[in-house]
Structure 1
């Protein structure tokens, strides 16, 4: 038997279902793709996909082909889109495992064609176009060449055009409307093709720009309970965070005023201080940048992190919290009593976004 960790990541499938239903309703008549890349943003790709598929989700999106194959091998029967390209030697996996590729250059199309011919299958391909993100995708002047090559190459069928917003988390930015206008130009070029699926809306587009929903929306962070712009407060009837993270107090000790705490003594106590030693550190996704600024919940109250966060340990100041003892539960992410710590709050403290916080915690701990 393998002993369990002090640290536990809890995944609330009821919250995941709630978010899916809410977002699916928001998408109106558009098809709905659930982004489960990056191990479902740290929530568990296979487990979350099974829950979503059981509740009606019929399209999933991942980043890499490897993720798509793992998802198919886990028993997911719905459509799976692989979004960021592939090693050409692995092109046969798209046919073998019935996965939809997004392509953005001719060599990729040629590799897919060879694989389709070899397998005797007709492979549906979506083309990735760039509407201002300046990341993956072909610009407007290069689209016709890709369309011509899809027609030229045997075994390929054009399934759709896809792009991605760069600023849909900012409702005031003009970038989203500009990107959508560019996407319309791509659609004009592709309008001669029959039955194409057009999709560009991420979570921000789905929630804030209804005109961007097109034929399909692709929701990621919102499925897991967070708004793309990083809201400080969770709305009662809105999205519900799916992940929480708990640990336990290992030891409680009292140190005198003037004592240095942790590596480098970056914190010096100003009074006799009661410290709770916690078995969580940057190995567990609790960022070292939370040194001297992070907080956790103990006995329903906030406790500040004192000193540097270590690889496996950190110290919380519980001087003003009565009765803290070894074994007490500690909430690193989530709710205790009337208090709540969200991934948005943690992200604000370390100058990042909820996406990174969730991935760091969820991929480094027992779920």
Structure 2
């Protein structure tokens, strides 16, 4: 019986591999999502937290380009307690996929029809000010039902939320409104990824002051949360009842100085196929604007991916890729659907060969951080920039 089960598992694995190979063979470019790496990151983060601290997986922006439904289900299956998204539609997508866990909407919603939809889909909104609270209370009273809400305080981010100095009357105001039940009070750090902790400490001090003042006034919030990925890794005193983890979930560190805290594994790899290999004579320009001129006869691989897929055009002549286990340079302007690689030093490169643009091959690695550093931006922007015409293929 055991032998039969092993054969069955082997058959299933082979069938899955063949299906994956067939799916990849039909793509010009794609993103691979390593669900084992994602599961590892969730479990590692969960183990890093105190037992009473819940892990909120941030899956907004289609899970930072990784695929919200798949990421949410994998995160919940491996220890995440709840989810956070940015918009109503993102929350509806998760509910329609059968996800029943608590879902916090981090963005602000004001329209009565949207409030009704939040109630219908049993989502949990963020309330940022008294006017918004009144709109929610009025709509919910009309529906004859109550709603869990989360109150957002501005402790120094200067974005959504009521100013921390007005927090106590704000919370007391919401407490008195009908059909609203306060689920948590939270705030957000502006500089948690920086090694200079002064602003972060100031925000934390303000947040603690609000919480203590509320206790004096007789209110104890059912839940308190403050930490994003950077704060989660850098300061355990910010963990409170739950932490909101986004970037670390996907295997990237918010800052270099946090890389030694826990071991994270990158979840996303970006790959494409070579469409044509050709030799360009010396002195010829490559791509629009002739931003690259060949100095000698040069073998070039044309790859089926471009800025319409989310590769920033400003990476032109700065991008690197891995082909046949070797690093190669991108040359010429990146175009809408294609880019060119200098493969002059490769002896055997053919149309259909796979190019790794972000990911690992042998001992070589290219990361979203590499792109971000070249562009003087952040890895969050890189991940969120990959377009939906790139299929997400789940691998283990």
Matched, 1:20 2:20: no
Matched with 2:97 is: 74
Unaligned runs of 5+ in 1: none
Matched, 1:277 2:308: no
Supply the distance in 2 between the matched residues of 1:170 and 1:318 (Cα, whole angstroms). 39
Matched with 2:246 is: 220
Cα deviations by residue, 1:61-93 (Å, 9 ceiling, x for unpaired): 001122112211211111000011113221112
Cα deviations by residue, 1:219-255 (Å, 9 ceiling, x for unpaired): 00000000011579x8797100001011111111111
Matched with 2:226 is: 200
* Count of aligned pairs: 365
SS in structure 2 of the partner of residue 196 of structure 1: coil
Unaligned runs of 5+ in 2: 1-22
- Does the 8 A contact of 2:130 with 2:173 survive in 1? yes
SS in structure 2 of the partner of residue 112 of structure 1: helix
**1:322 maps to which of 347, 354, 357:** 347
* Deviation, structure 1 residue 13: 0.5
Written as runs of structure 1 = structure 2, the 5 A alignment for 1:30-49 is 30-49=53-72
Supply the distance in 2 between the matched residues of 1:333 and 1:247 (Cα, whole angstroms). 10
- Does the 8 A contact of 1:6 with 1:279 survive in 2? yes
Supply the distance in 2 between the matched residues of 1:230 and 1:358 (Cα, whole angstroms). 17
Q: Which runs of 4+ in 1 moved over 6 A?
A: 234-237
- Does the 8 A contact of 1:171 with 1:208 survive in 2? no
- Judging by fraction of residues, say which structure has more helix: 2
Supply the distance in 1 between the matched residues of 2:348 and 2:253 (Cα, whole angstroms). 36
Matched with 2:16 is: none
- Does the 8 A contact of 1:88 with 1:108 survive in 2? no
Cα deviations by residue, 1:27-66 (Å, 9 ceiling, x for unpaired): 2131110000000000000111111222232210001122
- Does the 8 A contact of 1:294 with 1:305 survive in 2? yes
Written as runs of structure 1 = structure 2, the 5 A alignment for 1:303-322 is 303-322=328-347
Q: TM-score if structure 2 supplies the norm length?
A: 0.88
Q: TM-score if structure 1 supplies the norm length?
A: 0.95
Larger CA deviation: 166-175 vs 273-282: 166-175
Supply the distance in 2 between the matched residues of 1:99 and 1:83 (Cα, whole angstroms). 11
